[in-house]
Structure 1
Amino acid sequence: MATALIWENSTDYEVGNVDQDGLWKTVIGELFEDFLLYFAPDLHAQVDFSKKADFIQQELFQQIIKDKKGRKIADQLVKVHLRDGEEKWVLVHIEIQSDNEPDFAKRMFQYFYRIFDKYDKEIVALAIMTSPHKSEYSTEFHYNYFGTKLNYAYNIYKTIDHSYEELEQSDKLFSKMVLAIKYMHDTKEDVDKRYAFKMKLMREVLKINRDYDTVLYIVFYFIALNEHISM
């Protein structure tokens, strides 16, 4: 049985400067199957996970955001194979968004048509909104000019719409990652409370039968607390 010895000093915590983009990118890469199980269960049921998911290089994203100073890339473009027996694959476009960006829906459409133009494959687009504030912007992109019309809609998940109770009762691993985001926002100015929430989060995750070392690392990393861990 593994034993974890944890030493922490809350005065060393860096509160309010969390690299959510990098954290999400790491977690999705490490636990992509669990990610799909939580955010896209219908797609998850059709994916052949005996074939490794392919995280495609992100030149397309870099072209689109090159003029946005300070923006880091969390977007993921993942190729997965299906179980239908055909040599068929879909592109899973994942976009993590923490700010209320007015042109977000437009950018989602730009990603879609550039990916479709490059690969000519079916695309599943998923946007995860991690802002603690209600968004007033459209979740669809509409274009209408002299009879030329376009309506583009995509899958969207807002962490603010899901309660602590719902997330705590879920037995899916990524529900705990969403829980970590909510904890992080709610304890932004209280490092002691954040430490207590991290311990609670660890207990929540360990209720799920997963690799202890991987989950422990990702949970601590994701909630953005400094610690020294020895196994």
Structure 2
Amino acid sequence: MTETQSHQSTHDHYHDDYDSPWKEALDAWFPEFIALFFPVIHQEIEWGIPHRFMDKELQQVVRDAKLGRRYADKLIQVWTLEGKETWVLIHVEVQGQSEPDFNERMYVYNYRLFDRYQVDVISLAILTDPSPNFRAGEYRCGRWGCDVQFRFPTVKLLDLGHDWETLEASDNPFTLVVMAHLMAQKNRDG
């Protein structure tokens, strides 16, 4: 095994270890996830109508994307309080470093889902990298007066770690996922 293969294997193992708990937690506690990270959005969803995970629909649009790896992507159908169908694309970025094409990838996934299914798609991102300087949430491109601007809400876990007491006091089960991730990151990074 070459050094590159060994590094890639370790890299993949790291992602597998961090990716799976996030996916499982999203499956188990999606409403709690939204309540913790995006409380305004949580208030606009009709939780009396069951939400539905749409993994097959997501795979249809991202399988040929060549914009980097996906980690803990979830597509969930919800209904607004006004009775409008909306799809929520959640991307949990569990990489240990920032990804240069992240904003572009979020834009591509959003427009591909809209183009294919003609339904409102809300893209949300959780950034778990340890860099305080990496911030995402906007993709822009344009030339000669033809411009595209795509903004999406993000939460940086590193920011939540500054208020550990609030995390400990929360009765939201998703805070345990956040705390476990932050502790593992702290132990790994020293």
TM above 0.5:
yes
Match of 1:187 in 2: 187
- The alignment partner of 1:106 has SS state of helix
Q: Structure 1 residue runs of 4+, over 6 Å off?
A: none
How high is the TM-score relative to the length of structure 1? 0.66
What do the CA deviations read for 1:67-117 (whole angstroms, capped 9, x no partner)? 74xx45411111011232x3x211111011123000100101101111111
- The alignment partner of 2:99 has SS state of coil
- How far apart, in 2, do the equivalents of 1:104 and 1:72 lie? 10
Tell me whether 1:89 sits opposite 2:85 in the alignment: yes
Structure 2: which 5+ runs fail to align? 1-12
Tell me whether 1:148 sits opposite 2:146 in the alignment: yes
Q: Which has the higher contact order (CA 8 A, sep 6+)?
A: 1
Contact 2:75 2:89 in 1 (8 A): yes
Distance apart, 1:137 and its partner CA: 5.5
Tell me whether 1:64 sits opposite 2:65 in the alignment: yes
From 11, 20, 27, give the equivalent of 2:18: 20
Aligned letter for 2:182? Answer: K
Match of 1:109 in 2: 107
Greater percentage in helix? 2
Structure 1: which 5+ runs fail to align? 1-15, 191-231
Contact 2:29 2:173 in 1 (8 A): no
- How far apart, in 2, do the equivalents of 1:166 and 1:138 lie? 24
How high is the TM-score relative to the length of structure 2? 0.80
Q: Identity, % of aligned pairs?
A: 28
Contact 2:73 2:91 in 1 (8 A): yes
Larger Rg: 1
- How far apart, in 2, do the equivalents of 1:94 and 1:151 lie? 19
Task: Report how many residues are paired.
Answer: 170
- How far apart, in 1, do the equivalents of 2:36 and 2:135 lie? 25
Contact 1:132 1:182 in 2 (8 A): no
